[in-house]
Amino acid sequence: MSEASINCATCEQIIEFFNTATEGDTVSLGFISSLVDTDCPHREWIKQFDRDGASIQDRFESKIDMVKAHAAIELRLNRNGKCWPGCRFKLAPRKNDELLNSGHARILDPAWIDEKIILNWEDLCKEHHEDACEYPEKFQLIESIRSTWLVDILAGCLVPGPGHTRFITLSYTRGEVAFFQTEKNVIDQLQEVGALTAGPVAERLPRTIRSAIDVVRLLGERYLWVDVLCIVQDDAKALQVALNSMARIYSTSYITIVAANGIDASYGIRGFKGLTPQRDFKQDIMPMVPPVNLVIPRNRGEKSQSAYYSRAWTYQEYLCAKRRLIFENGTVYWECSRSRWSEELVPDLPPFEKRSIEPWKYPDLFTLSSFPDLRSMNYLLRDFNQKALTFPEDALSAFSGLQWVLSQTFVGGLLYGIPELFFESGLMWNTIGLGERRHSTRKHMSQLPSWLFLGWQVGATFKGDYEFQAGWWTRDESLKGVRRPVTTWYTMEHPTSSKRRRIESNWYKYRVLAEDITQEPLQGWMRTRFGWNCGHPLLLNTFAYSGDGQEYGYLHSNSPDRWYKYPVPLLDCYSMHLLQPQTQFLSCQTSRVFLHGIPDISAIERKESSSPSELRNYNNYNNVKLQDENGEAVGFLALMRERDRNYFAENIAPGAVVELVAISEGWFGINNESGEEEKEIKDWTPRSMTRQDCYHVLWVEWEDGTAYRRGSGYVLKEVWERKKEEALVDLILG
């Protein structure tokens, strides 16, 4: 029977549902047994629908439901009324010229990209988004940079940056391959017409850079910025200036070409007929009765295995780019501040909504920079700090662009990635798992500070301060609150420097001001009484948890769905705020206590008998219990290195002595219903207690008069005040 002669009610039902259903609508396609009892091509993909290993005959009495979700149709397996998520698909007419509206998929050429699709994206963005993409939110404050050198596509050579002209940037993975780069002795040669497009120099350029030149020409643009060509690599001063300006370069360029395919720069940007090698793109197509197919579009939400996404520099470049033309998974995508488009899908039509990047893969820098909240930075800490660097000491430079954007939000700016406004809370960052210090590989470069998360190769996180913001409380989550600073912090260039700067950690000042409810709140804030009938109980109970009986909370117009215990000032978004000098040593006078650290033996045993996936969220393996001289448990310490965990394991009795210094006064709490957490502290926390007053502390070790961070934790307040030394210690933290 010919395909054209089949009249399939199932296919007609799918097409009708796609065109008429609204978000959330659900309809049953019927039993699998009847869906495969046909000559229609759809029977083949129905057979493969349930991929858990069971034969299709075992599923004959199950149904398949259709759900309209996010302008697509999701097929779900329905077993006795219980549904399991399946695949999402779009309709794709057999001929692309039959496309009727947005939301349809395209059938793509597996070898070649249709360049008209890319040019259409650019036109749509310019026509409908206007300044929203040219000057997205905080990026409107970044002054356009005048690059020293640019690649002139028309002349095929290097030219001095012609003022504040429009240019394209390339973001790519260099890899281990050696290739040509600009040095002082070849600058004159590179300025000769055609030097970069023909001849011996062009032949030494990696395929990705040569491909990028072709793509820029295709876009109708003239200038391209590429790091190895536009930075003089053996000019140390120019190199450092360029590294510190990378964020400005990418955030002010017109479009950033993201070459995410391949393991290094030799792979190229494939798929442009007559310009580059063909690609190998395998589209997931499910055949139906003409005139349509079903297409399962590639999902950028899936973590890519590309080397591009493992690098710290490319992570910053990606986040700072305001428009991205992304070559990944054999296909191409467009991202700007208002839309996300895929080669496989017809673009959405106006009005356009602000895009939403999957936060677990790429946090949206425009959103992260909108409100001064430490926890909003956690995606950055987690992701950036695990990225690879050829030179570990470049971590701060690779983070500098992100730090600049965030400094436009936090009053006082950031010091090495930690907002000065909440400096005590920032110092108490925790690692996700265990890592190692980043050590400089260049003799002339100093080490990154130990108190800084950037100084460690490990994911990091700021613990939520429930004395500032209400937050979600899970059953197995420990809480903490920071109530009062215990010292004044200073920063300086060297341990012996006579000149030092006071760190602007002013959160406590605003907390005290908020206690006077007769005063008007800070600009943009609203004070309101809260209780169980106001807001979300799971958020508000974190305030009640602190036990101070506060009756009022604060909301801000920029963050109307979040409750705060006190307001803090927000910076003027129409002014540019300069960074504070980045000096790497800290000093203060604070109290000190010596205690014994005892490893959590039960956690170690569980770790050795469990799979890595089972331990991913189990932090007790990285903790040690703090005990006094009588063996009484008085606190906990979170470790950062495997060698430190082994150190405590080798000194179980009476425990390794640790030196602890006070950072702030506050409390920690354990959910009474959490069995594991309760069991860990049952010998020193009564079951009826929900909160313990404490000091938040750092574990430090000294070397040549400077202390270095080795862990963080807390000690019971009454124990600390009883055991602390009479004299304060002059702490120099490096």
Split at pLDDT 50, 70, 90, the class of 357 is very low
The whole-angstrom separation of Cα 93 and Cα 292 is: 4
3-state DSSP percent of the chain in helix, strand and coil, to 5: 30, 25, 45
Q: Which of 113-117, 396-400, 618-622, 633-637 has the lowest mean pLDDT?
A: 618-622
Strand 552-556 and strand 525-529: the pairing is: antiparallel
Q: Phi then psi for 421, rounded to 5 degrees?
A: -55, -40
The yes-or-no verdict on residue 535 having pLDDT over 60 is: no
Q: What distance in Å separates the CA atoms of residue 679 and residue 112, rounded to the nearest whole number?
A: 61
CA triple 532-534-538, angle to 5 deg? 55
Closest C-alpha to 623, from 594, 651, 650, 602: 602
Beta bridge mates, 481:
667
How is residue 663 written in tokens?
Answer: 């950072």
Least confident of 275-279, 355-359, 550-554, 668-672: 355-359
- State how far Cα 363 lies from the chain centre: 4
531 CB-side CA count, 13 A: 3
Identify whether the C-beta of residue 461 lies closer than 8 Å to the C-beta of residue 379.
no
Question: Is the predicted pLDDT of residue 648 greater than 90, yes or no?
Answer: no
Q: For residue 630, what pLDDT is reported?
A: 87
What letter represents residue 484's amino acid? R
For 518-527, what is each residue's pLDDT tens digit? 899 999 999 8
Q: Is the peptide bond before 485 cis (omega within 30 degrees of 0)?
A: no
**Which CA distances in Å does 200 have to 112, 193, 203?**
28, 13, 5
Largest CA distance in the chain: 95
Please determine, for residue 679, whether its predicted confidence score (pLDDT) is greater than 60: no
pLDDT higher at 538 or 348: 348
Closest CA to 448 of 314, 312, 318: 312
Whole-angstrom distance, CA of residue 505 vs CA of residue 297: 48
Residue 474 scores a pLDDT above 70: no
- Tell me how far apart the alpha carbons of residues 587 and 487 are, in angstroms, rounded to a whole number: 10
Most confident of 15-24, 299-308, 443-452: 15-24
Q: Give residue 416's region: left, alpha or beta (phi > 0; psi -120 to 50).
A: left
What are the structure tokens assigned to 526, written together? 């609203």
Please report where in the chains the tokens 């450092």 appear, as a residue. 240
Would you place residue 675 in the very low, low, confident or very high pLDDT band (cuts 50, 70, 90)? very low
* pLDDT tens profile 581-631: 899 999 999 999 999 998 865 544 444 444 333 333 334 557 899 998 888
pLDDT for the residue numbered 614: 34
37 token code pair:
């009892």
Supply the pTM of this predicted model: 0.84
Q: Cβ distance 374 to 463 under 8 Å?
A: no
Burial grade of 653 (CB within 10 A; 0-12, 13-18, 19 or more): exposed
Q: 23 pLDDT exceeds 50?
A: yes
Q: Is residue 360 scored above 50 in pLDDT?
A: no
The more confidently predicted of residues 273 and 441 is 273
**Distance of CA 151 to CAs 159, 172, 233, Å?**
6, 16, 16
More confident residue, 181 or 528: 181
Under 8 Å CB-to-CB from 19, ≥6 apart: which residues? none
447 vs 253, more confident: 253
Q: What angle do CA 696, 421, 575 make, to 5 degrees?
A: 165
pLDDT of residue 635: 92
Phi and psi angles of residue 445, each rounded to the nearest 5 degrees, phi first: -100, 135
Q: Are 581 and 490 contacting, i.e. CB atoms less than 8 angstroms apart?
A: no
Amino acid letter for position 250: Y
CA distances from 719 to 474, 484, 486, 677, 722 (A): 28, 17, 16, 21, 5
Distance of alpha carbon 308 from alpha carbon 254, whole angstroms? 21
Query: Band of the pLDDT at 534, cuts 50, 70, 90?
Result: low
Q: What pLDDT, on the 0 to 100 scale, is given for residue 455? A: 92
pLDDT tens readout for residues 275-304: 999 999 999 888 887 778 888 888 775 556
Which pLDDT score, from 0 to 100, does residue 251 have? Answer: 85
Other beta carbons within 10 angstroms of residue 570's beta carbon come to 20
Residue 509 phi, psi (nearest 5):
-60, -45
- CA separation (Å) from 629 to 50, 410, 498? 61, 43, 39
Residue 27: which H helix or E strand, with range?
A: strand 26-31
Task: Give the separation between CA 239 and CA 320, rounded to whole angstroms.
Answer: 20
Q: Please report the pLDDT score of residue 313 as a whole number.
A: 92
Taking phi over 0 as left and psi of -120 to 50 as alpha, with beta for the rest, 57 belongs to alpha
Q: Mean pLDDT of all residues in the chain?
A: 82
What's the whole-number mean pLDDT along residues 504-508? Answer: 96
Please indicate whether residue 200 or residue 86 has the higher confidence score (pLDDT).
200
Residue 59 has pLDDT above 70, yes or no: no
Pick the residue with more confidence: 173 or 573? 173
Query: pLDDT higher for 19 or 228?
Result: 228
> pLDDT at residue 223 above 70?
yes
